[in-house]
Amino acid sequence: MGQDIAGIILAGGRSRRMGGGDKSLLALGGDSLLGHAVSRFAPQVGPLALSANGDPARFAGIGLPVLADVVEGFAGPLAGILTGLEWAAANTASETLATAAGDTPLLPRDLVERLVAAAGARPGSIAVACSGGKWHPTFALWPTEARAALRRFLVDEDIRRVSAFIDRHGFVEVEFSLLKSGEHEIDPFFNINTPDDLAAAARLLQSIKP
Ligand SMILES: Nc1nc2c(ncn2[C@@H]2O[C@H](COP(=O)(O)OP(=O)(O)OP(=O)(O)O)[C@@H](O)[C@H]2O)c(=O)[nH]1
């Protein structure tokens, strides 16, 4: 599935709310936080790379090429997405790039399939995931031809908000259902920012069926 779609997983942030270091490599339920995202996302795409800053050697165990941001200074996820679009255009035959954040251990297993279906209804647009009425702009399908406009937006206009670019470019939304865990509903895009989030995710992984 999705073998003609390129993908990147974003793991290039500064993890300040986690206390610095690199949250993506923290242990969670017998794997790393990033390992969970890779396991769910990798089967959904063809060529796949990790978008990350700093020493790539720390990701050797993940087994993916590591792309350092083409814009310096931790410019945020949009810098990783621009890097991924330029990588996909130069190194793959794909005309679209699927993106996912590496701090989201329950990301949907049908993410790319559903984004592709929605984008097909409005060619050239960005397909973006939502749940519970909330946008998740780092979980999206991007036409590689958007990269020049994205570079102008990020570098020349110095606007970093992913949602602002999506809004300007044109988009379709794809709604994902909440997951059930007993009486509770869990957002599949629940992402890990703090030590408390990590502890909550460890509890969730025990209670949710894969
Ligand atoms: N490539 C790349 N990815 C980033 C960058 N900043 C954030 N990300 C990724 O985007 C996703 C969401 O990031 P956040 O959790 O909002 O930011 P963070 O810097 O990782 O964490 P905080 O410092 O606590 O805000 C995560 O998967 C990050 O790894 C960046 O500058 N470059």
Give the tokens for residue 128.
């973006």
Q: How confident is the model at residue 1, as a pLDDT?
A: 54
Task: Report how many domains make up the chain.
Answer: 1
Phi and psi (nearest 5°) for 14? -105, -5
Structure confidence at residue 181 as a pLDDT band (50, 70, 90): confident
C-beta 22 within 6 A of ligand 1: no
CATH of the domain at 163: 3.90.550.10
Q: Whose CA is nearest to atom 32 of ligand 1?
A: 12
Asked if the model's pLDDT at residue 124 lies above 70, the reply is: yes
The answer to whether the annotation marks 158 as part of a ligand binding site is no
Residue 85 lies in a domain: yes
Looking at the DSSP bridge assignments, the partners of residue 179 are 186
Q: How confident is the model at residue 147, as a pLDDT?
A: 98
Residue 1 lies in a domain: no
Residue 116 lies in a domain: yes
C-beta 180 within 6 A of ligand 1: no
C-beta 161 within 6 A of ligand 1: no
Residue 162 lies in a domain: yes
- CB neighbour class for 12 (10 Å; exposed up to 12, middle 13-18, buried from 19): buried
Residue 127 lies in a domain: yes
Average pLDDT over residues 191-207: 93
Q: Whose CA is nearest to atom 10 of ligand 1?
A: 77
CA of 205 to the centre of ligand 1 (A): 22
Give the tokens for residue 10.
């974003």
| Other Cβ atoms closer than 10 A to 115 | 27
Q: Is the ipTM of this complex over 0.85?
A: yes
d(CA 116, CA 12) in angstroms, rounded, equals: 25
CA of 105 to the centre of ligand 1 (A): 15
Residues spanned by the domain of 146: 6-207
Residue 142 lies in a domain: yes
